[in-house]
Amino acid sequence: MNLSIVEYPDRRLKLKSKKIEKFDKSLHRLLDAMYPIMMNTNGIGLAAIQVAHPIQALILNIPEEDGEQPDENLIEMINPIIKSKDGETVYQEGCLSVPSFYEDITRFETISVEYQDRDANLKTMDADGLLSIAIQHEVDHLNGILFIDKLSYGRRKKFEKEHKRMLKEKKNSKK
């Protein structure tokens, strides 16, 4: 499977992802292909829409204290729904679809999320810390929302300016 990361300002990132009904081989193949892309690009979370598949699937591998991301820590969530949320926390977020830009984002501190695994089994997870932030960031992707959409007017302007500069640099390096 040949996947590549969809980057801002691609309008596909604004799509609302569809609920998954078929837990078949093609879903498994997609999930299996997403994982190495995330790991090879130093990601900790990736939604299917970021590889051009607008379906409600996301994967996570939250680094441990030592920064390691063993394969056993992979979490796959299909059709996730955040059932409860509490508190507030601020973290400097980034996104594989918005490379090289990081900004403080306020999220809920703790959440409870219901989802299905790749075989359609229903699961519930209570999360706090970086895992909670990552789940909220990825569930936003399923709703067509990027972390930069949450910035204040002034911070968003700062992003647009930096983004324009980045595109110019990219063009120039091709010449």
Q: Which residues bind Co ion (CB under 5 A)?
A: 95
What tokens appear for 164 in the block?
């324009």
The alpha carbons of the chain give a radius of gyration, in whole angstroms, of: 16
The binder of ligand QAP chosen from 12, 14, 36, 41 (CB under 6 A):
41
Active site residue 138: yes
Size of the residue set binding ligand QAP (CB under 6 A): 16
C-beta atoms surrounding 172 within 10 Å: 8
| Interacting partner of 44 out of ligand QAP, Co ion, none (Cβ under 5 to 8 A depending on kind) | ligand QAP
Stretch that binds ligand QAP, among 6-14, 42-50, 76-84, 151-159 (CB under 6 A): 42-50
Distance from first CA to last CA of the chain, Å, rounded? Answer: 31
- Residue 5's Cβ-side half-sphere holds a number of Cα atoms within 13 Å equal to 19
42 binds, among ligand QAP, Co ion, none (CB under 5 to 8 A by kind): ligand QAP
Supply φ then ψ for residue 76, to 5 degrees: -115, 130
Q: Is 103 in the site for ligand QAP (CB under 6 A)?
A: no
- Taking the complex as a whole, how short is the minimal distance between the CB of residue 134 and ligand QAP, in angstroms? 4
- Is residue 148 close enough to count as binding ligand QAP by CB under 6 A? no
Q: Check residue 42 and report its DSSP letter.
A: T
Please identify, using beta-carbon distances, which residue of 23 and 101 lies nearer to Co ion.
101
Nearer to ligand QAP, 23 or 158 (CB): 158
> Which of ligand QAP, Co ion, none does residue 43 bind to, with CB < 5 to 8 Å depending on kind?
ligand QAP
> How far is residue 146 from each of residues 56, 100, 168, measured CA to CA in Å?
15, 14, 22
At residue 44, the 3 state secondary structure works out as: coil
Active site residue ranges: 138
